[in-house]
Amino acid sequence: MPDGAPTFSAAEYERRWRAIQSEMAMRGQDAILLTSAADVFYVTGFLTRFWESPARPWFVILPSAGAPLAVIPDIGRDLMQGCQVGEIRSWPAPRPGDDGVSLLADTLSDLLPETGTIGLPMGPETSLRMPLADYLVLTRALAPRRFVDATDTVQRVREIKSDVEIDAIRATCRCADAAFDRVPEIVVGAGRLDEVFRRFQIALLEEGADWVSYVAGGAGPGGYGNVIAPAEAAPLRDGDLLMLDTGAVKDGYFCDFDRNYAIGRADDDLRRVYDGLYRATEAALSALRPGMTARDAHELLTAGLRRAGLVSAGGRLGHGLGVTLTEWPSFTSLDETPLRENMVLTLEPGAVVSEGRIMVHEEDVVLRAGGPELLSRRAPPELPVIRR
Amino acid sequence: MPDGAPTFSAAEYERRWRAIQSEMAMRGQDAILLTSAADVFYVTGFLTRFWESPARPWFVILPSAGAPLAVIPDIGRDLMQGCQVGEIRSWPAPRPGDDGVSLLADTLSDLLPETGTIGLPMGPETSLRMPLADYLVLTRALAPRRFVDATDTVQRVREIKSDVEIDAIRATCRCADAAFDRVPEIVVGAGRLDEVFRRFQIALLEEGADWVSYVAGGAGPGGYGNVIAPAEAAPLRDGDLLMLDTGAVKDGYFCDFDRNYAIGRADDDLRRVYDGLYRATEAALSALRPGMTARDAHELLTAGLRRAGLVSAGGRLGHGLGVTLTEWPSFTSLDETPLRENMVLTLEPGAVVSEGRIMVHEEDVVLRAGGPELLSRRAPPELPVIRR
């Protein structure tokens, strides 16, 4: 493949454009404006870690038919040229006073009549990746054209994965499967939690991840306090429960699952909670079907925890997954999003072990007509013990 | 250190609050609202890779005096409790319909009279990390309180680094220095560019990086086409110029510099351009002083390229560095930001080797009263050749 060329065929991107354009037509949106790394990658294949730099905004417009237009900093032109995109307009960013705003306004004005409606994702799980002050200038420059919420327009398409996307997520999960297999040897070789985190990231890369966008975890006697902390430079001790959670990336697609390990010995409390989480997940793996809602998935997992006599650790019990570490929907009691065939989802029940100590279990699946198909290799049915 | 506790002392955070509060007072801002990973980390020490999940917004309010207040998802409460923050209010996110908005509005209403003014970074290099639709609800809920731009309020403080911050960036640079030293052995062992990227990230971790947020680069005969591409699965060939650029992270602080290597042999054109970039950097290293502007730095580097008979590759020729991969100012002909003592900056001249082929050179420095002090170990004066 040439430098930065998309992993997928032109046909895959054309399918995506048409699917979004069909949603746009249904909702009366004449074009949509995309500003996030994930949305831009989704419609063009433009993949770079350069989004890490907050210096420059990037814009992609999908018109009502045909290929997207890119309005981007000059520095991205060479890479964008290899992507699935029509016209590319660029400016020498960063440019104080007019950082692409007039070029973007002109492009949208050329494209849309004054009665035109521009869809912009502005709802849950979105954010506008451009300076807010520039957005306000843009809305004035484009008036009487109107910006409307295009969250559903994008999410209803992105949430259903194609075969090549499912294969990509499965490939990323394989890297994490292999890295998790190596955790016992890593723990034996590394006494401290920060060393474990470091070597686990190395294992993910060695097993084929392109990069590691997310590692979190925790360790402590009888569980951990939270699931989002970076590593502390503290020794692992016998009796600790260790959890590692990763969002590795391969070809732009994430995995997101965790594994738990008992250090030295597994106390009864930990075994009991692990078993309950495992069985709650099994129940969801066998009962989840397209046509249910995110709320139903939450209820399935909650019922599983209840049957095991466990108290939920709270928060959502699973979510979507794909070109970002987490995607909608959220398995909560309030999320009515319908679950549909070929959604990629995580099942993530968590339970309280004791006051302030929790355990969380996570698997990645694709929802098929007949139920979930695992993308992560199923966690072992009993809490693994790492003896040093 | 306990799980996720800030690396720095309470005194460092109190200094930051007071410095920002003094800017707020000058600009008539009664509180500021922060939503980005970098700003939240800067004022509280809250460090997590969980920002990778777009599912939930996070809010930190700095009032006119005293400690910041956190208004955050429940999932972050445990980690935030160890940070430098006053009151923590949290809600069970994600919550469709009211994802923290009413809690944030109530908190700001409690804090500020109806005549109050809320600063929000909305200018260059910022973006609002919350759904735009929720921001619009928030502005209505808080009216007649007004939101005003607080970009300067935050940037004028963050851009001047304290001794502990400079030490942190130097420590991250050390990891990258050591990893770059290993590139020749990596290239000999890995025939393909994607393997080089992977092993270079492993080397960064082995040399002490906590994680690797950014690696980009390129390779090709007579230079590369751009500096932001992910790796292609293509073999390195004799005569190629290889560039690797990294933003590794340690204790939340980035480095950002690159190194160039000739594969097998260094053709005259490559030697000549490398020498010109090296000398342009030397000139800036000796002449740059506090009191100059970003534009002056651009002119110093441009003059150096001109003297060497090189054509600039365009774009900015350096920028700030700290808690994100890149920070303001930008070394362009338009950026009038004054350069001040203890700014951490990159010097990043790039030149055209031939049509569509460029070479870019980068170092990290802290600007002292007497001139730049290198934080990266200076690149070798001649283009290194890796013989396989």
Parse chain B into domains and list their residue ranges.
10-158, 163-386
CB contact under 8 A, A52 and B214: yes
**Do the beta carbons of residue B46 and residue B40 sit within 8 Å?**
yes
CB contact under 8 A, B324 and A202: no
Number of residues assigned to chain B = 388
CB contact under 8 A, B228 and A76: yes
* A203-240: pLDDT as tens digits: 999 999 999 999 999 999 999 999 998 888 899 999 99
What pLDDT does B191 receive? 85
Q: How far is B288 from chain A (nearest CA, A)?
A: 21
Cα distance between residue A248 and residue B106, in whole Å: 38
CB contact under 8 A, A126 and B131: yes
Question: How many cross-chain Cβ pairs, A to B, lie less than 8 Å apart?
Answer: 252
Give the count of beta carbons closer than 10 Å to the beta carbon of residue A381.
Answer: 10
Cα distance between residue B58 and residue B99, in whole Å: 10
Give the count of beta carbons closer than 10 Å to the beta carbon of residue A265.
Answer: 12
* B88-97: pLDDT as tens digits: 999 999 999 9
Fold of B163-386: Creatine Amidinohydrolase (3.90.230)
CB contact under 8 A, B314 and A211: no
In A, minimum Cα distance to B5 occurs at A232
Cα distance between residue B244 and residue B225, in whole Å: 13
Q: Residue ranges of the alpha helices (H) in B45-76?
A: none
Partner-chain residue, chosen from A54, A75, A211, that has the shortest CB–CB distance to B125:
A54
Tell me which residue has tokens 């490559």: B270
What pLDDT does B7 receive? 76
CB contact under 8 A, A94 and B332: yes
Q: Which residues are A290's β-sheet partners? A: A292
**B324 vs A contacts (CB less than 8 Å):** 52-54
B residues 232-251 closer than 8 Å to A (CB):
232-234, 247
Cα distance between residue B257 and residue B277, in whole Å: 14
**Do the beta carbons of residue B343 and residue B159 sit within 8 Å?**
yes
Q: Which residues are B341's β-sheet partners? A: none
In A, minimum Cα distance to B333 occurs at A95
Cα distance between residue A281 and residue A301, in whole Å: 7
CB contact under 8 A, A125 and B94: yes
Cα distance between residue A196 and residue A115, in whole Å: 58
What pLDDT does A331 receive? 98
What pLDDT does B232 receive? 86
> Which positions of chain A have pLDDT values less than 70?
1-6
CB contact under 8 A, B330 and A47: no
Nearest to B164 by CA among B84, B79, B252: B252
Nearest to A331 by CA among A289, A293, A381, A365: A293
The pair phi, psi for residue A164, each rounded to 5°, is -70, -30
Partner-chain residue, chosen from A76, A210, A326, that has the shortest CB–CB distance to B55:
A326
Q: How far is A226 from chain B (nearest CA, A)?
A: 6
Does the beta carbon of B189 lie under 8 angstroms from any beta carbon of chain A? Answer: no
A residues 41-100 closer than 8 Å to B (CB):
47-50, 52-55, 57, 73-79, 92-97, 99
Cα distance between residue A173 and residue A65, in whole Å: 35
In B, minimum Cα distance to A90 occurs at B315
The pair phi, psi for residue B117, each rounded to 5°, is -120, 125
Distance of CA A118 to the CA centre of its chain: 26
> Which positions of chain B have pLDDT values less than 50?
1-4
What pLDDT does A232 receive? 86
**B93 vs A contacts (CB less than 8 Å):** 315
What pLDDT does B5 receive? 53
**B229 vs A contacts (CB less than 8 Å):** 3-4, 48, 78-79
Nearest to B240 by CA among B191, B280, B309, B203: B191
Nearest to A68 by CA among A48, A90, A43, A38: A43
Distance of CA B169 to the CA centre of its chain: 10
Just give the CATH number of A10-158.
3.40.350.10
Does the beta carbon of B286 lie under 8 angstroms from any beta carbon of chain A? Answer: no
Cα distance between residue A337 and residue A293, in whole Å: 5
Listed in sequence order, the residues at least 6 apart from A11 whose beta carbon sits closer than 8 Å to its beta carbon are none
Tell me which residue has tokens 């409307």: A148
Q: How far is A370 from chain B (nearest CA, A)?
A: 28
Distance of CA A290 to the CA centre of its chain: 20
